[in-house]
Amino acid sequence: MAKHLSAEQIREFEALLRERHRELRQDIHQALIESEDSQFQDLAGRVHDPGEESVADLIIDLNIRQIDHQVQELYAVESALARMRNGTYGICAECGTDIQLERLRAVPTATRCIDCQSRQEKDYVGGAGSGTPTL
């Protein structure tokens, strides 16, 4: 475990992560129920022109992307809880230094310190100045 985190701070992060885990599971469950709702099937079956078909496809794509994003976040939360169990929570996976408390408060699932995360984004996401547009 990161040397700079007290037992109380670890408990605080664990409670926060467990609550987020519960919320995400509920949200994913609800989104899956809604995706099976006949409303989407009716919409897809009623389209008669390319414009309506595009809107139906967009709605379905947005629903799938939302679920995918939530599943990815759920995985990150589960990974953070696993790092707590094995004693590596709060330690940068790249350089092995402690991840700053402020960063963990902002992103409790962080696996890298801010320096390594910035380097990762620059190297692999095509950071600023690369000419590659990013969102």
CATH number of domain containing 34:
1.20.120.910
User: pLDDT digit of tens for each residue in the chain (135 aa)?
Assistant: 778 899 999 999 999 999 999 999 998 888 877 766 545 555 555 555 566 666 666 666 777 888 899 999 999 999 999 999 999 999 999 999 999 999 999 999 999 999 999 999 998 876 555 555 555
Structural domain includes residue 135 = no
pLDDT at 44: 52
Structural domain includes residue 129 = no
- Residues 63, 69, 123, 5: what is their CA dihedral angle, to the nearest 10 degrees? 160
CA distance linking residue 103 with residue 112, whole number of Å: 9
Structural domain includes residue 133 = no
CA atoms within 13 A on the CB side of 20: 21
Structural domain includes residue 21 = yes
**Structural domain for 76, as ranges:** 7-124
Structural domain includes residue 132 = no
Task: Please tell me the pTM assigned to this model.
Answer: 0.74
Structural domain includes residue 131 = no
Domain count, the chain: 1
* Beta partners for residue 91, in sequence order: 98
